[in-house]
Structure 1
Amino acid sequence: MKREKSQGSQRDSLSDTKKSLGVRLRLARQMKGLTLKELAESSGCSESLLSKVENGKVLPSLPMIHRVVQVLETNISWLFDEPADDESVIFRKGTRPFITLDKHKGTSRGLMLERIIPYKDGHLLQCNIHHLELGGQSGETITHEGEEVGYVLTGTVELTLNGDTFRLETGDGFCFRSNIPHSYRNIGDDAASILWVCTPPTF
């Protein structure tokens, strides 16, 4: 019974996230004076999929949302939730927000982001733990401005940078410029987690 309630709560939370994101995405698009078709063409996304996102039916993949916010000139974190309290400096275990992305075929799947630093205007850094299920991946390549640093907390992952692949195991770290096309996936036999820091904040 408790498990059923927990699963129901997770579904409700995901539904609320979809609706909230849809409203904010539509607002950001309208503030830029773009039609749905124009945003789709500029970001290289499907117009029908963008429509579903705006209507709260699906969540975008990680690569897709990166492309969309670059066109809208906004921050991904703003699309997902309210900014953190200006006085917040400590973020306790069990209270940090999670972002779960829909599992679109061929895109990100089995990926959940745990925010170490909740979004707030003025932050120069962004820090998340990327939790990858067995076989989980970021999907198609991602590019944006900034610099990224990561540390594999658990598991075995494959990091791809501009077509070159690197096998990383627990305790390995990495650093690269964010404008290098990049993607990653769990290639181990268990779930994997990566502490991931980038600047400037994008998610």
Structure 2
Amino acid sequence: MNKVDIRNKGSDERSTTSSLLRLGTRLKLSRQTRGLTLKALAAAANCSESLLSKVENGKVSPSLPMLHRLVEVLGTNIGWMFEESDGEEGIVFRAGTRPLIALDPLRRGEGISLERVIPYSPGHLLQCNIHHIEASGESAGPIQHAGEEVGYVLEGAIELMVGEKTFRLSAGDSFVFDSELPHWYRNVGDERASIFWVNTPATF
């Protein structure tokens, strides 16, 4: 059991590193294509130049709010930043092969990682991930964008904040809301929580 756990952990780390490098490369390409300096983009997206440099070099992951600001300034979308090749004929994505990336910097505990259910690639109308939230982890936010969110809690206990309302959810609960409402969430249990989350891609 321990050997399997170690192997899976190593695979997850390699997947995360690969995703961060892909994000950094495409972010830098998009910035250079638009003739923006690192300093100019950082100022427009309200983030530090040093942090943006680390993101472009695949050394750190941006928070989701920061990523939304960057793609808005660059006139692109999050889907393109993480665009991946499809699985078997673009239909089947095997367990253990789906990309895993930590988008939000660690806030508390072990933070949050997103497991791709639908790869970011052309032709998909939806984005779908399994959000894994470690004990005491929470999403950076609140964020808001055009579209709609739908989720189903697979395990654990979370608090979901939408607009001015707060909801406590546990395994088996589901939700839906307008993405234009400010939203974020946190794990309020003692163990990892997972949410099957589907949303309309945010484009600008």
TM-score by length of 2: 0.85
Query: Is the contact between residue 41 and residue 73 of structure 2 (CA under 8 Å) also seen in structure 1?
Result: yes
- Residue number in structure 2 paired with 1:143: 144
1:2-81 residue pairs with structure 2 within 5 A?
A: 11-81=13-83
Q: Which secondary structure state, in structure 2, belongs to the residue aligned with residue 71 of structure 1?
A: helix
Q: Which secondary structure state, in structure 1, belongs to the residue aligned with residue 118 of structure 2?
A: coil
Alpha carbons of 1:191 and 1:5: their partners in 2 closer, same or farther (altered >3 Å)? closer
Q: Which secondary structure state, in structure 2, belongs to the residue aligned with residue 150 of structure 1?
A: strand
Q: Does 1:167 align with 2:168?
A: yes
Q: What is the rounded CA distance, in whole Å, between the counterparts of 1:200 and 1:9 in structure 2?
A: 27
Q: What is the rounded CA distance, in whole Å, between the counterparts of 2:112 and 2:69 in structure 1?
A: 18
Q: Which secondary structure state, in structure 2, belongs to the residue aligned with residue 134 of structure 1?
A: coil
Residue 123 of structure 1, CA deviation? 1.1
Q: Which secondary structure state, in structure 2, belongs to the residue aligned with residue 136 of structure 1?
A: coil
Alpha carbons of 1:140 and 1:200: their partners in 2 closer, same or farther (altered >3 Å)? closer
Residue 127 of structure 1, CA deviation? 0.8
Residue 7 of structure 1, CA deviation? 5.7
TM-score by length of 1: 0.85
- Residue number in structure 2 paired with 1:126: 127
Q: What is the rounded CA distance, in whole Å, between the counterparts of 1:113 and 1:105 in structure 2?
A: 15
Q: What is the rounded CA distance, in whole Å, between the counterparts of 1:197 and 1:96 in structure 2?
A: 16
Query: Is the contact between residue 129 and residue 196 of structure 2 (CA under 8 Å) also seen in structure 1?
Result: yes
1:91-106 residue pairs with structure 2 within 5 A?
A: 91-101=93-103, 103-105=105-107
Residue 163 of structure 1, CA deviation? 3.4
Residues 28-66 of structure 1: CA distance to partner in whole angstroms, max 9, x if unpaired?
111222222222222222222111211232111222112
Alpha carbons of 1:19 and 1:91: their partners in 2 closer, same or farther (altered >3 Å)? closer
Residues 134-170 of structure 1: CA distance to partner in whole angstroms, max 9, x if unpaired?
1111122111111111111111111111232111111
- Residue number in structure 2 paired with 1:179: 180
- Letter of the structure 2 residue corresponding to residue 147 of structure 1: E
Alpha carbons of 1:199 and 1:7: their partners in 2 closer, same or farther (altered >3 Å)? closer
Query: Is the contact between residue 58 and residue 102 of structure 1 (CA under 8 Å) also seen in structure 2?
Result: no
- Letter of the structure 1 residue corresponding to residue 158 of structure 2: V
Kindly report the root-mean-square deviation, in angstroms, between the aligned alpha carbons of the 2 structures.
Answer: 2.6
Paired positions, count: 201
Q: What is the rounded CA distance, in whole Å, between the counterparts of 1:7 and 1:111 in structure 2?
A: 15
Q: What is the rounded CA distance, in whole Å, between the counterparts of 1:59 and 1:81 in structure 2?
A: 16
Q: Which secondary structure state, in structure 2, belongs to the residue aligned with residue 116 of structure 1?
A: strand
Query: Is the contact between residue 101 and residue 109 of structure 1 (CA under 8 Å) also seen in structure 2?
Result: no
- Residue number in structure 1 paired with 2:92: 90
- The answer to which of 47-56 and 190-199 deviates more is 47-56
- Letter of the structure 2 residue corresponding to residue 168 of structure 1: L
| Sequence identity (%) | 57
